[in-house]
Amino acid sequence: MLHQLYHDIDEHGRQHGGGTRGDKLGGTVELLGVALRITNPRARISRSENRGKPFSALGELLWYLSGSDKLAFIKPYVSEYENDAVDGVLEGAYGPRLLAMRGNIDQFDSIERLLRRKPGSRRAVVQLFNAEDIATDHKEIPCTTTLQFHLREGRLHLSVTLRSNDAYWGLPHDVFCFTMIQEMMARRLEADLGEYYQYVGSMHIYDKYLPDMRAYLDEGFQQVHAMPPMPVGNPFDLVPKLLEIEGRLRDGQRVEASSEMSDPYWSDVVRLLQVFWSRRQSSSKEEHVRRLDEIRDELASGSYKPYVDGRKDLPIRATADKAGGDPTAGSADDVAM
């Protein structure tokens, strides 16, 4: 899917030249009114040589689920957020809007209550964009406007609408995070996972990233990887524990994934976090590689092993500020469809 979208954008750019003038990063090649459909939302990670690292997307998902709007949480995973922060805060952060809209509305709780009472409801909409976002000036506002859950014949589908979507930087992370939330809500409602739909007003790529996009197209290796199914149960109950573990890893502590999470699926999620933070916990390249090999051998799902191997050549950052940016984090090479 991503390969076809990039091909369409590339063709449009070659035929019509640059598109609109962006407010922040310059010119773009733009497609209006783009609709995407993913029949298997678990196929949210690419095995492409160019785009094979899910770590920053996992960090962004945890940021959403933490309810935080603080730059300090997300910056190690996606350093580019620093460009949009105001006094260490992202004004358009999704977390507070998901979990504490207008101060006290947990929209996931609202969705569950509605769909348990009226399974066929067409009102199961999460709102992220507010009228206030354009009534006054803000450095950053949500690109995503709504998430609508559809419970049909025992399957939970998700439709996501965005006013704006950066196809190279934002789209892969959006699909990873939103399909993970979709599967979490499906488990919460004891439903099967349905299809994923994404509707975008302005799908674009900034001119400065066109060479990177074309390199991805030239690579030609576009296999996607379906993550294992989430185990039965309410995954939202595990979020506080995952955040607590992430905090310990961020502080330089070592954890034993299988002792922290009994189910292999969630133990592997912890191991992916361990892989990401290993660079900051190791005093030498040799220690870093040795630690990655240990984590690699512990993985319940062998499909994650190539992503672990891809971290071995990165320089260690043991002396870096734990809240500081990682120049390799949050790149467009992280996830794909």
Contacts of 207 (CB under 8 A, 6+ apart): 18, 26, 27, 28, 29
Q: Which DSSP letter does residue 84 get? A: G
Q: Sheet containing 144-152: which strands, arranged edge to edge? A: 28-38, 192-206, 155-166, 144-152, 125-127
Structural domain count of the chain: 2
Cβ atoms 299, 274 nearer than 8 A = no
Confidence of residue 17 (pLDDT cuts 50, 70, 90): low
Say what the pLDDT of residue 315 is. Answer: 84
**Residue 328: is its pLDDT beyond 80?**
no
Domain membership flag for residue 319:
no
Half-sphere exposure of 251 (CA within 13 A, CB side): 8
What CATH number does residue 45 fall under? Answer: 3.30.572.10
- 217 vs 285, higher pLDDT: 285
- 150 and 276 in a single domain? The answer is no
- 147 and 290 in a single domain? The answer is no
Show which of 192, 225, 258 is a domain's final residue.
225
Domain membership flag for residue 302:
yes
- 146 and 290 in a single domain? The answer is no
168-180 per-position pLDDT tens digit: 889 999 999 999 9
- 99 and 20 in a single domain? The answer is yes
Closest Cα to residue 270, out of 255, 292, 289? 255
- 291 and 153 in a single domain? The answer is no
Measured CA distances, 282 to 81, 128, 238, 325 (Å): 26, 39, 28, 17
pLDDT-wise least confident of 203-212, 283-292, 299-308, 319-328: 319-328
95-122 per-position pLDDT tens digit: 999 999 999 999 999 999 999 999 999 9
- Which tokens go with 226? 């379906």
Confidence of residue 336 (pLDDT cuts 50, 70, 90): very low
Domain membership flag for residue 214:
yes
Domain membership flag for residue 206:
yes
The DSSP secondary structure of 34-77, one letter per residue, reads EEEEES-TT--EE--SSS---HHHHHHHHHHHHT--BHHHHTTT
Q: Which of 17-21, 193-197, 202-206, 207-211: highest mean pLDDT? A: 193-197
Confidence of residue 6 (pLDDT cuts 50, 70, 90): confident
Cβ atoms 17, 9 nearer than 8 A = no
- 83 and 105 in a single domain? The answer is yes
- 59 and 156 in a single domain? The answer is yes
Q: What is the mean pLDDT of residues 191-205?
A: 97
Give the residue numbers spanning the domain of 80.
2-225
pLDDT-wise least confident of 45-54, 63-72, 155-164, 251-260: 45-54
- 40 vs 335, higher pLDDT: 40
Closest Cα to residue 25, out of 85, 76, 83, 70? 83
- Which tokens go with 168? 């190279």
- 181 and 250 in a single domain? The answer is no
- 221 and 243 in a single domain? The answer is no
CA dist., res. 184 & res. 173, Å (int)? 16
Domain membership flag for residue 337:
no
CA dist., res. 186 & res. 196, Å (int)? 12
75-99 per-position pLDDT tens digit: 999 999 999 999 999 999 999 999 9
Domain membership flag for residue 283:
yes
Show which of 196, 225, 254 is a domain's final residue.
225
- 119 and 253 in a single domain? The answer is no
Say what the pLDDT of residue 321 is. Answer: 45
Say what the pLDDT of residue 9 is. Answer: 82
Say what the pLDDT of residue 44 is. Answer: 92
**Residue 3: is its pLDDT beyond 80?**
no
**Residue 224: is its pLDDT beyond 90?**
no
Say what the pLDDT of residue 147 is. Answer: 98
- 50 and 135 in a single domain? The answer is yes
Domain membership flag for residue 104:
yes
CA dist., res. 23 & res. 142, Å (int)? 15
Q: What is the mean pLDDT of the chain?
A: 89
Closest Cα to residue 228, out of 265, 274, 198? 265
- 159 and 22 in a single domain? The answer is yes
